[in-house]
Amino acid sequence: MTIYSAAIMLILVMDPFGNIPIFLSVLSHVKPEKRKKIIIRELLIALVFLTFFLFFGKYILTGMHITEPALGIAGGTILFLIAIKMIFPSDNSSFIGDKDNQEDPLIVPLAVPMVAGPSAMAIVILLSTQYPDRLLTWFGALLIAWSIGFVILILSEKISRIVGRRTLKAIERLMGMILTTMSIQMLLTGIKTFIASV
């Protein structure tokens, strides 16, 4: 896997276009001049979480006695479920939280799980365990994906006004289709690795 394919996978998993409506909804009560500061803060927190799991996630897995094939199969399964949800979206209100709560969001739900969700964490751990000698490459891929997501979410209000919600949904479904094929490949690789180790 190259830095570019890893970055594309992370972008698809982070799903910045799909997160636009959720970010706008969560921050709807926040003053416009303060929204960008909150988005920047939450995205930086998400980057810290993902970087931690990239460099130290494998030690957590070792302590839990989770093997590489198991992680590959689990990661592929999670990605497939995420992709199906992107293609056939349901109500995301469970992530939005209490609209009556006027406090600024901190970590939850924007940083975690909307950007640094379980699937993104699983991907960075999988990359670090399968190719431990290329950690700097995967960190570069993470930075590329995070930077693209950063730009999209910072411009979320403008993007939403320009393209509209229907176009955002169409983009998310297209990303879901691409992610489906990548998840199946990851699942097959995990199964192949397991069979070879038996």
pLDDT digits (tens, 9 = 90+) for 130-143: 899 999 999 999 99
CA distances from 180 to 53, 174, 176, 193 (A): 23, 10, 6, 20
Say what the pTM is.
0.81
Look at 92 and 45; give whichever has higher pLDDT. Answer: 45
**b/e map 79-106, b = 16+ CB within 10 Å:** bbebbeebeeeeeeeebbeeeeeeebbe
pLDDT tens, residue by residue, 14-37 = 999 989 988 988 898 888 889 999
Average pLDDT score over residue span 131-157: 96
Q: Which domain holds residue 117?
A: 3-197
Residue 45's H or E segment, with its range, is: helix 32-63
> What is the count of structural domains for the chain?
1
Tokens of 155: 């411009």
Averaged pLDDT score across all residues of the chain: 87
Class of residue 64 by CB neighbours under 10 A (exposed 0-12, middle 13-18, buried 19+): exposed
Average pLDDT score over residue span 136-151: 98
